Structure 1
Amino acid sequence: MIVEDEDFLADETRRKFRELGAILIGPISDIRNALELIEAENVDAAILDLHLGAESVLPVVETLEKLKLPYLFAIGRLSVVPVGFTGFTFCEKAIEIEYIARALFGRPNGDA
Protein backbone atom coordinates (compact mmCIF):
# COMPACT_ATOMS: atom_id res chain seq x y z
CA MET A 1 0.00 0.00 0.00
CA ILE A 2 1.30 3.45 -0.91
CA VAL A 3 0.07 6.38 1.18
CA GLU A 4 1.16 9.71 -0.31
CA ASP A 5 -0.34 12.95 -1.57
CA GLU A 6 2.48 14.42 -3.68
CA ASP A 7 3.20 11.48 -6.01
CA PHE A 8 6.86 11.37 -4.89
CA LEU A 9 7.22 7.69 -5.73
CA ALA A 10 8.34 7.81 -9.34
CA ASP A 11 6.77 5.68 -12.07
CA GLU A 12 10.09 3.86 -12.43
CA THR A 13 9.99 2.95 -8.74
CA ARG A 14 6.45 1.62 -9.07
CA ARG A 15 7.45 -0.40 -12.14
CA LYS A 16 10.37 -1.98 -10.28
CA PHE A 17 8.12 -2.93 -7.37
CA ARG A 18 5.75 -4.62 -9.82
CA GLU A 19 8.70 -6.46 -11.41
CA LEU A 20 9.54 -7.77 -7.94
CA GLY A 21 6.02 -9.17 -7.65
CA ALA A 22 4.36 -6.44 -5.60
CA ILE A 23 0.68 -5.69 -6.07
CA LEU A 24 0.39 -1.98 -5.37
CA ILE A 25 -2.61 -0.40 -3.68
CA GLY A 26 -2.66 3.36 -4.02
CA PRO A 27 -1.53 5.98 -3.93
CA ILE A 28 -3.97 6.80 -1.14
CA SER A 29 -3.98 10.48 -0.28
CA ASP A 30 -6.00 10.69 2.94
CA ILE A 31 -5.87 9.06 6.35
CA ARG A 32 -9.49 7.85 6.44
CA ASN A 33 -9.18 5.95 3.15
CA ALA A 34 -5.83 4.47 4.18
CA LEU A 35 -7.29 3.16 7.44
CA GLU A 36 -10.32 1.73 5.62
CA LEU A 37 -8.10 -0.05 3.08
CA ILE A 38 -5.92 -1.57 5.79
CA GLU A 39 -9.09 -3.11 7.24
CA ALA A 40 -10.64 -4.13 3.89
CA GLU A 41 -7.64 -5.33 1.86
CA ASN A 42 -4.93 -7.89 2.46
CA VAL A 43 -2.14 -5.36 2.99
CA ASP A 44 1.32 -6.91 3.42
CA ALA A 45 3.33 -3.70 3.86
CA ALA A 46 3.08 0.06 3.42
CA ILE A 47 5.18 2.89 2.05
CA LEU A 48 4.16 6.12 3.77
CA ASP A 49 4.65 9.82 3.26
CA LEU A 50 4.97 11.47 6.67
CA HIS A 51 2.30 14.11 6.01
CA LEU A 52 -0.81 14.11 3.82
CA GLY A 53 -1.51 17.80 3.41
CA ALA A 54 -2.14 19.04 6.95
CA GLU A 55 -2.74 15.51 8.27
CA SER A 56 -0.09 13.41 9.97
CA VAL A 57 0.17 9.79 8.86
CA LEU A 58 0.65 8.66 12.49
CA PRO A 59 -2.85 7.10 12.85
CA VAL A 60 -1.96 4.84 9.92
CA VAL A 61 1.40 3.99 11.51
CA GLU A 62 -0.28 3.12 14.80
CA THR A 63 -2.69 0.77 12.99
CA LEU A 64 0.14 -0.89 11.05
CA GLU A 65 2.11 -1.40 14.25
CA LYS A 66 -0.91 -2.94 16.03
CA LEU A 67 -1.29 -5.37 13.12
CA LYS A 68 2.49 -5.98 13.03
CA LEU A 69 2.66 -5.00 9.36
CA PRO A 70 5.99 -3.71 8.01
CA TYR A 71 6.17 -0.16 6.70
CA LEU A 72 8.63 2.55 5.88
CA PHE A 73 8.59 6.30 5.59
CA ALA A 74 9.41 7.45 2.06
CA ILE A 75 10.26 11.11 2.13
CA GLY A 76 11.75 13.21 -0.63
CA ARG A 77 13.20 15.87 1.64
CA LEU A 78 14.79 15.92 5.06
CA SER A 79 12.13 15.43 7.72
CA VAL A 80 12.00 14.21 11.27
CA VAL A 81 10.33 10.85 11.80
CA PRO A 82 8.77 10.52 15.27
CA VAL A 83 10.70 8.35 17.72
CA GLY A 84 9.27 5.01 18.76
CA PHE A 85 8.11 3.70 15.41
CA THR A 86 9.75 0.80 13.58
CA GLY A 87 9.56 2.27 10.07
CA PHE A 88 12.58 3.93 8.62
CA THR A 89 13.31 6.90 6.40
CA PHE A 90 14.73 7.11 2.93
CA CYS A 91 15.17 9.69 0.23
CA GLU A 92 13.62 8.23 -2.94
CA LYS A 93 16.45 9.31 -5.23
CA ALA A 94 19.19 7.73 -3.13
CA ILE A 95 17.95 4.17 -2.58
CA GLU A 96 17.78 0.90 -4.47
CA ILE A 97 14.35 -0.67 -4.90
CA GLU A 98 15.64 -4.14 -4.04
CA TYR A 99 16.78 -2.83 -0.65
CA ILE A 100 13.32 -1.42 0.05
CA ALA A 101 11.64 -4.67 -0.98
CA ARG A 102 13.95 -6.71 1.28
CA ALA A 103 13.31 -4.32 4.17
CA LEU A 104 9.56 -4.79 3.80
CA PHE A 105 9.28 -8.44 2.80
CA GLY A 106 12.50 -10.16 3.86
CA ARG A 107 15.02 -11.81 1.59
CA PRO A 108 13.89 -13.20 -1.77
CA ASN A 109 14.25 -16.80 -0.52
CA GLY A 110 11.76 -16.07 2.28
CA ASP A 111 14.27 -15.54 5.12
CA ALA A 112 13.71 -12.42 7.21
Structure 2
Amino acid sequence: MTDEKLRLFEGKRILIVEDEYFVADEVRRQLNQAGALVVGPAPSVEIGLTLLERNSIDGAILDIRLDGETVFPIAERLQDAGLPFVFATAYGAGDIPERYTGYVLCEKPNDLGEIAYALFGLKAKGH
Protein backbone atom coordinates (compact mmCIF):
# COMPACT_ATOMS: atom_id res chain seq x y z
CA MET A 1 0.00 0.00 0.00
CA THR A 2 1.35 3.37 -0.87
CA ASP A 3 1.07 6.08 1.74
CA GLU A 4 0.06 8.60 -0.92
CA LYS A 5 -3.01 6.59 -1.93
CA LEU A 6 -3.92 5.80 1.68
CA ARG A 7 -3.98 9.55 2.47
CA LEU A 8 -7.08 9.72 0.28
CA PHE A 9 -8.93 8.07 3.20
CA GLU A 10 -8.05 10.83 5.70
CA GLY A 11 -11.21 12.21 7.26
CA LYS A 12 -13.49 10.12 5.04
CA ARG A 13 -16.41 8.14 6.49
CA ILE A 14 -16.22 4.64 5.02
CA LEU A 15 -18.94 2.01 5.29
CA ILE A 16 -17.61 -1.56 5.44
CA VAL A 17 -20.03 -4.35 4.55
CA GLU A 18 -18.34 -7.69 5.22
CA ASP A 19 -19.59 -10.83 6.96
CA GLU A 20 -16.20 -12.40 7.74
CA TYR A 21 -15.31 -10.97 11.14
CA PHE A 22 -11.52 -11.18 10.86
CA VAL A 23 -11.46 -9.65 7.37
CA ALA A 24 -13.82 -6.85 8.46
CA ASP A 25 -11.80 -6.16 11.60
CA GLU A 26 -8.51 -6.01 9.68
CA VAL A 27 -9.97 -3.60 7.10
CA ARG A 28 -11.44 -1.49 9.91
CA ARG A 29 -8.06 -1.36 11.66
CA GLN A 30 -6.19 -0.38 8.48
CA LEU A 31 -8.75 2.29 7.61
CA ASN A 32 -8.49 3.76 11.11
CA GLN A 33 -4.70 3.87 10.73
CA ALA A 34 -5.14 5.70 7.43
CA GLY A 35 -7.27 8.35 9.16
CA ALA A 36 -10.69 7.17 7.99
CA LEU A 37 -13.77 7.10 10.16
CA VAL A 38 -15.25 3.62 9.84
CA VAL A 39 -18.99 3.03 9.75
CA GLY A 40 -19.66 -0.60 10.60
CA PRO A 41 -18.56 -3.15 9.73
CA ALA A 42 -21.96 -4.49 8.73
CA PRO A 43 -22.23 -8.28 8.44
CA SER A 44 -25.58 -8.25 6.60
CA VAL A 45 -27.60 -6.25 4.08
CA GLU A 46 -30.12 -5.29 6.76
CA ILE A 47 -27.46 -3.87 9.07
CA GLY A 48 -25.67 -2.20 6.15
CA LEU A 49 -28.85 -0.45 5.03
CA THR A 50 -29.56 0.67 8.60
CA LEU A 51 -26.04 2.09 8.96
CA LEU A 52 -26.41 3.83 5.62
CA GLU A 53 -29.68 5.43 6.69
CA ARG A 54 -28.31 6.57 10.05
CA ASN A 55 -24.87 7.79 8.97
CA SER A 56 -23.42 10.13 6.45
CA ILE A 57 -20.70 8.35 4.46
CA ASP A 58 -18.20 9.27 1.76
CA GLY A 59 -17.72 5.80 0.27
CA ALA A 60 -18.13 2.08 0.88
CA ILE A 61 -16.29 -1.21 0.60
CA LEU A 62 -18.72 -4.04 -0.15
CA ASP A 63 -18.35 -7.80 -0.06
CA ILE A 64 -20.70 -9.31 -2.66
CA ARG A 65 -21.89 -12.37 -0.73
CA LEU A 66 -23.03 -11.98 2.87
CA ASP A 67 -24.06 -15.26 4.50
CA GLY A 68 -26.44 -16.34 1.75
CA GLU A 69 -27.52 -12.92 0.47
CA THR A 70 -25.99 -10.42 -1.93
CA VAL A 71 -24.98 -6.85 -1.21
CA PHE A 72 -26.72 -5.40 -4.26
CA PRO A 73 -29.55 -3.62 -2.36
CA ILE A 74 -26.83 -1.56 -0.62
CA ALA A 75 -24.99 -1.00 -3.92
CA GLU A 76 -28.22 0.24 -5.47
CA ARG A 77 -28.81 2.69 -2.62
CA LEU A 78 -25.22 3.97 -2.89
CA GLN A 79 -25.46 4.29 -6.66
CA ASP A 80 -28.74 6.21 -6.40
CA ALA A 81 -27.12 8.57 -3.88
CA GLY A 82 -24.07 9.10 -6.10
CA LEU A 83 -21.71 7.67 -3.49
CA PRO A 84 -18.59 5.79 -4.59
CA PHE A 85 -18.12 2.15 -3.66
CA VAL A 86 -16.00 -0.84 -4.56
CA PHE A 87 -16.74 -4.54 -4.46
CA ALA A 88 -14.05 -6.33 -2.44
CA THR A 89 -14.70 -10.02 -2.85
CA ALA A 90 -13.27 -13.41 -3.62
CA TYR A 91 -15.90 -13.81 -6.36
CA GLY A 92 -15.38 -12.86 -9.99
CA ALA A 93 -16.83 -10.11 -12.15
CA GLY A 94 -19.45 -12.56 -13.46
CA ASP A 95 -21.19 -12.30 -10.09
CA ILE A 96 -21.83 -8.57 -10.52
CA PRO A 97 -25.00 -7.42 -12.34
CA GLU A 98 -24.38 -5.40 -15.49
CA ARG A 99 -25.64 -2.17 -13.93
CA TYR A 100 -22.57 -2.18 -11.63
CA THR A 101 -19.89 -3.03 -14.18
CA GLY A 102 -18.44 0.49 -13.94
CA TYR A 103 -17.55 -0.05 -10.29
CA VAL A 104 -14.19 -1.43 -9.24
CA LEU A 105 -13.84 -5.07 -8.29
CA CYS A 106 -10.99 -5.82 -5.89
CA GLU A 107 -10.04 -9.34 -4.93
CA LYS A 108 -9.55 -10.32 -1.30
CA PRO A 109 -7.24 -9.76 0.48
CA ASN A 110 -7.80 -6.09 -0.11
CA ASP A 111 -5.20 -3.58 -1.21
CA LEU A 112 -6.53 -0.51 0.56
CA GLY A 113 -4.29 1.81 -1.44
CA GLU A 114 -5.97 0.68 -4.65
CA ILE A 115 -9.39 0.89 -3.01
CA ALA A 116 -8.66 4.46 -1.85
CA TYR A 117 -7.68 5.43 -5.38
CA ALA A 118 -10.76 3.73 -6.85
CA LEU A 119 -13.03 5.58 -4.42
CA PHE A 120 -11.42 9.01 -4.29
CA GLY A 121 -8.37 9.24 -6.58
CA LEU A 122 -10.02 10.14 -9.85
CA LYS A 123 -12.41 12.56 -8.16
CA ALA A 124 -9.52 14.18 -6.29
CA LYS A 125 -7.68 14.70 -9.58
CA GLY A 126 -10.74 16.34 -11.13
CA HIS A 127 -11.76 13.53 -13.51
With the shorter chain as reference, the TM-score category is: 0.7 to 0.9
Residue number in structure 2 paired with 1:111 = 125
CA distance, structure 1, for counterparts of residue 41 and residue 98 of structure 2: 25
Report % sequence identity: 33
Please, which runs of 5 or more residues in structure 1 have no aligned partner?
A: none
Distance 1:33 1:15 in 2: 20
Residue 88 of structure 1: aligned partner: 104
Q: What one-letter code is carried by the residue in structure 2 that aligns with 1:102? A: Y
Q: Deviations over 1:3-59 (max 9, x none)?
A: 011233562x44432233211112101111111111110111110010111111111
**Count of residues in Structure 1 that have an aligned counterpart in Structure 2:** 109
User: Is the counterpart of residue 39 in structure 1 residue 38 in structure 2?
Assistant: no
Tell me the TM-score normalized by structure 1: 0.81
Instruction: From the two aligned structures, give the one with the greater strand fraction.
Output: 2
Q: Which has the higher helix share?
A: 2
Rate the CA distance shift 1:10–1:29 in 2: closer, same or farther, 3 A: closer
Give TM-score scaled by structure 2 length. 0.72
Contact kept? 1:2, 1:24, Cα under 8 Å = yes
Asked whether the equivalents of residues 2 and 25 of structure 1 are also in contact (C-alpha less than 8 Å), the reply is yes
Matched, 1:67 2:110: no
RMSD: 2.3
User: Deviation per CA, 1:32-91, whole angstroms, max 9, x where unpaired?
Assistant: 111111111011111001011111111101100000000011013446222121322111
SS at match of 2:40: coil
